[in-house]
Amino acid sequence: MKLANLWAGLLALALLQGCATGPNPRDPFEPFNRSVSRFNEGLDEAIVKPVAQVYQDVLPSPVRTGVNNFFSNLTEVWSMVNNLLQGRPQAAGDSLMRFSVNTTIGLGGLLDWATEMGIERHREDFGKTLGRWGVGTGPYLVLPILGPSTVRDTAALVVDTKGDLVNHVHDVSARNSLYLLRAVDLRASLLRAGEVLDQAALDKYSFTRDAYLQRRGAVLESNGDAEERYDLPEKAPAK
């Protein structure tokens, strides 16, 4: 309930910001989102990015690849569930096979033998499942620490958290260590992309927003979904 209350509070605050400043089809909460983005960027520059750089410099590439494979393998179970909920049994079977292969002969997921064997990855979450069921994305929303999202995907995070295998580790210190390692590994994998973004984008906020919404819409369209697109210009009225 605490997590659900947190997201509800963020949504309420964003709605108040949007009502106060007037609607924007893609980003009615822009003042709120920009303030959260500034907070996230400050936190990243002060703590997250330096830690990720040390992680990248200290650990050899094969070790980092193993860590990334391990956490990717954990997502296969939840992807399988969401593929089933989306009515995609073949994709669900691939997710189950990937998890089985990489957990056994892949040494607990450190090695990605499933990809070598040609078993396709179908990474899904509950936000995409809601999209498959016809739920629109809602406007863009930036979350503290977690970053870009939408109203729908923020609501889906409550369910996604329950499906996260790391969340089911009973030992609190071990669970928190896994969360931390996963976050650092993810940030380290984005270091190069972050440098390109800093150099290329005149307005990093707008660039990130548009890229996120375009990618999210493209992923859903690739699954055959009729998705509400906030990244596209409005259609001209019929004459």
Per-residue pLDDT of 34-49, as tens digits, reads 999 999 999 999 999 9
Residue 30 confidence class, pLDDT cut points 50, 70, 90: very high
CA atoms of 100 and 77, how far apart (whole Å):
10
Q: Is 78's pLDDT higher than 50?
A: yes
CA atoms of 62 and 130, how far apart (whole Å):
36
Per-residue pLDDT of 203-231, as tens digits, reads 889 989 998 998 887 565 555 444 433 33
Alpha carbon 219 to its chain centroid, in Å, reads 12
Per-residue pLDDT of 161-181, as tens digits, reads 999 999 999 999 999 999 999
**pLDDT: which is higher, 32 or 26:** 32
pLDDT attached to residue 75: 98
Q: Is 4's pLDDT higher than 90?
A: no
| pTM exceeding 0.75 | yes
Mean pLDDT in residue range 48-62: 97
User: Between the CA of residue 4 and those of 99, 147, 152, 162, what are the distances in Å?
Assistant: 29, 17, 13, 12
pLDDT attached to residue 19: 47
CA atoms of 97 and 110, how far apart (whole Å):
16
Q: Is 33's pLDDT higher than 50?
A: yes
